[in-house]
Structure 1
Amino acid sequence: MLYKPDDDEELSTAIVSALSDAKGRDVSQDECVLYDSIDPDALDKLFRGESDEDTVKVEFTTHGAIVILWGNGDITIQVEDLESDPNYA
Structure 2
Amino acid sequence: MYVTASPTLIYTPDDDEELSTAIVSALSDAKGRDITEDECVLYDSIDPDALDKLFRDRSDDDTVKVEFTTHGAIVVLWGNGDVTIQVEDLESDPNYA
TM-score w.r.t. the length of structure 2 is 0.86
Match of 1:26 in 2: 34
Match of 2:60 in 1: 52
4+ residue segments displaced more than 4 Å: none
8 Å contact 1:70–1:77 — kept in the other structure?
yes
Q: Distance in 2 between matches of 1:42 and 1:22?
A: 23
More strand by share: 2
Matched-pair identity in %: 86
Match of 1:88 in 2: 96
8 Å contact 1:3–1:11 — kept in the other structure?
yes
**How much has 1:75 moved relative to structure 2?**
0.3
**How much has 1:57 moved relative to structure 2?**
0.3
**How much has 1:85 moved relative to structure 2?**
0.6
**How much has 1:41 moved relative to structure 2?**
0.5
Q: Distance in 2 between matches of 1:38 and 1:75?
A: 17
Structure 2 unmatched runs, 5+: 1-10
TM-score w.r.t. the length of structure 1 is 0.93
